[in-house]
Amino acid sequence: MAKYIVEQSGPLHGEVEISGAKNAALPILAATVLTADVCEICDVPRLKDIDVMCRILRSLGAKVDEDWDEHIIRVDGSGISVSEVPYDLVKLMRASIFVMGPLLARLGKASIAQPGGCAIGDRPIDLHTKGLKTLGARVMMSEGLVNASVDRLKGALVYLDFPSVGATENIMMAASVADGVTTIENAAEEPEIVDLASFLNKMGAKIKGAGTDTIKIEGVPSLHGARHAVIPDRIETGTFMVAAAITRGNVLIKNCLPDHVRPVMAKLIECGAVVEDELEGLRVRGDAGKLVATDIKTLPYPGFPTDMQAPFMALLTTVSGTSTVIETVFENRFMHAAELSRMGANIRVDGRNAVVPGDKRPLTGAHVMSTDLRAGAALVLAGLVAKGTTEVSQIYHIERGYENFVEKLSGLGAKIKRVED
């Protein structure tokens, strides 16, 4: 098993280029199932999760060509005939469920192993299935499988009890080729939803309102092939913003969309970091003065992203004063708090609230375990400023979602290396 060895590194300096967004690329690749034509997806990050999605598409009968020199994936869906996704693949990635809506729309049936819980919570799929049922699908759960079938999907009003990102995406994809109009109310508003809608519209779909809480989809008889470049990854952007701040460095973050990281920007500024919107990207400086405590509460977009909660908590362990962190999106997303406390942070967790005492308790290197993707990134950031050496294990979580993480951090002066155990 590989691990990262991270040494106290001093301020990070230089420039870093952000990759395409994993969470946009995954549903967009799933959406290629909706057509028998060829689709070309550009700026795809080279990540384990993307590899799993490509394997899923191939298992369904698609021809998938991965051009990693150009970061382009071409999907020829003419041969898609299989409607099942086995547990072997689903257990590697929950986002496998994204092909449910497209398979139903394309083949009239889908049988997908039910994803289990994970380190951050139960993560049910009831909103996905409820939405697809509203569009006329029959959905049965048995023996660990979600079996869905439909003669014709029919447009309908779908109200989501919570603005789930994945459910909004699954329903939007299925509704694109349903008979009639679908309205999704209390829809998720994340930029990845807008990117998926923009790809679907290039394929011939008629979607309006993506990025607001009400999305209207006028079903069309069929979709055609399209070419699309995915948006830059806002969570990777946020992670490097925090990396600059936590090390009291000065980093220019290129290929990012500042509008997508406003809440992270606002909280960094509250802490005393400087964030400048330059022509080439965002410059984040943690070297302009003392950093101080702030409180954060995660919320669906445009609120503070749950995926940035762990990296930001690492920063809060290094500032002056006590901060509170409230996690409202996932019920169990504080596993990194215990690991940060093993590095000396002394974070107190009570349900969905955490109290972070700040720099009264300076971090020291330790052996820590990455429990999920963003928790892993948080531990690496903490390791950059902890006294001594930090060993981060279970880094496969991190490699699911950060492209060339070690190389990008090293390019900024971080002392980090990947070693095989």
Query: From the CB of 101, what's the least distance to ligand UD1, in Å?
Result: 12
**Cβ closer to ligand UD1: 44 or 363?**
44
Stretch that binds ligand UD1, among 50-58, 122-130, 134-142, 314-322 (CB under 6 A): 122-130
123 binds ligand UD1 (CB under 6 A): yes
Strand partners for 324: 355
DSSP 292: B
Query: From the CB of 331, what's the least distance to ligand UD1, in Å?
Result: 6
For residue 391, which of 368, 363, 408, 419 has the smallest C-alpha distance? 368
263 binds ligand UD1 (CB under 6 A): no
Residue type, 13: H
Query: From the CB of 121, what's the least distance to ligand UD1, in Å?
Result: 5
Question: Rg of the Cα trace of the chain?
Answer: 21
Q: Which of 79, 124, 144, 289 binds ligand UD1 (CB under 6 A)?
A: 124
**Cβ closer to ligand UD1: 21 or 291?**
21
Query: From the CB of 129, what's the least distance to ligand UD1, in Å?
Result: 7
Stretch that binds ligand UD1, among 120-128, 210-218, 245-253, 265-273 (CB under 6 A): 120-128
Q: Which of 71, 74, 106, 128 binds ligand UD1 (CB under 6 A)?
A: 128
Query: From the CB of 140, what's the least distance to ligand UD1, in Å?
Result: 16
Contacts of 46 (CB under 8 A, 6+ apart): 68, 71, 403
**Cβ closer to ligand UD1: 166 or 281?**
166
Q: Which of 39, 42, 54, 118 is catalytic?
A: 118
Q: How far is CA 181 from the centre of its chain?
A: 29
Q: Which run of H or of E encompasses 60? A: helix 48-60
**Rounded to whole angstroms, what are the CA distances from 279 to 15, 86, 193, 228, 230?**
13, 46, 26, 24, 21
- Compose the 164-183 pattern: x for residues touching ligand UD1 by CB under 6 A, - for all others: xxxx----------------
Q: How far is CA 47 from the centre of its chain?
A: 12
Helix, strand and coil content of the chain, in percent to the nearest 5, comes to 35, 30, 35
39 is catalytic: no
What is the SS3 assignment for 369?
Answer: strand
**Cβ closer to ligand UD1: 330 or 405?**
330
Q: Which of 25, 41, 127, 153 binds ligand UD1 (CB under 6 A)?
A: 127
d(CA 2, CA 260): 32
Q: Are 54 and 73 within 8 A, CB to CB?
A: yes
For residue 409, which of 398, 397, 394, 400 has the smallest C-alpha distance? 398
Tokens of 67: 């051009």
Stretch that binds ligand UD1, among 78-86, 160-168, 198-206, 402-410 (CB under 6 A): 160-168
The label of the residue with tokens 């409202």 reads 328
**Cβ closer to ligand UD1: 199 or 414?**
199
One-character DSSP codes across 129-157: HHHHHHTT-EEEEETTEEEEE-SS-B--E
> Which residue, judged by CB position, is nearest to ligand UD1 in the bound state?
166
For residue 340, which of 271, 392, 295, 415 has the smallest C-alpha distance? 392
Query: From the CB of 125, what's the least distance to ligand UD1, in Å?
Result: 5
Q: Starting from the edge strand earliest in sequence, which strands make up the sheet with 72-76, in order?
A: 63-67, 72-76, 38-42, 227-229
**Cβ closer to ligand UD1: 153 or 167?**
167
Q: Which residues in 327-386 contact ligand UD1 (CB under 6 A)? A: 329-330
Q: Which run of H or of E encompasses 105? A: helix 100-107
- Compose the 26-45 pattern: x for residues touching ligand UD1 by CB under 6 A, - for all others: x-------------------
Q: Which residues in 290-319 contact ligand UD1 (CB under 6 A)? A: 306-307
Stretch that binds ligand UD1, among 121-129, 257-265, 308-316, 390-398 (CB under 6 A): 121-129
Query: From the CB of 365, what's the least distance to ligand UD1, in Å?
Result: 28
Binding footprint of ligand UD1 on the chain (CB under 6 A)? 23, 26, 95, 121, 123-128, 162, 164-167, 188, 192, 306-307, 329-330
Residues annotated catalytic, as ranges = 118
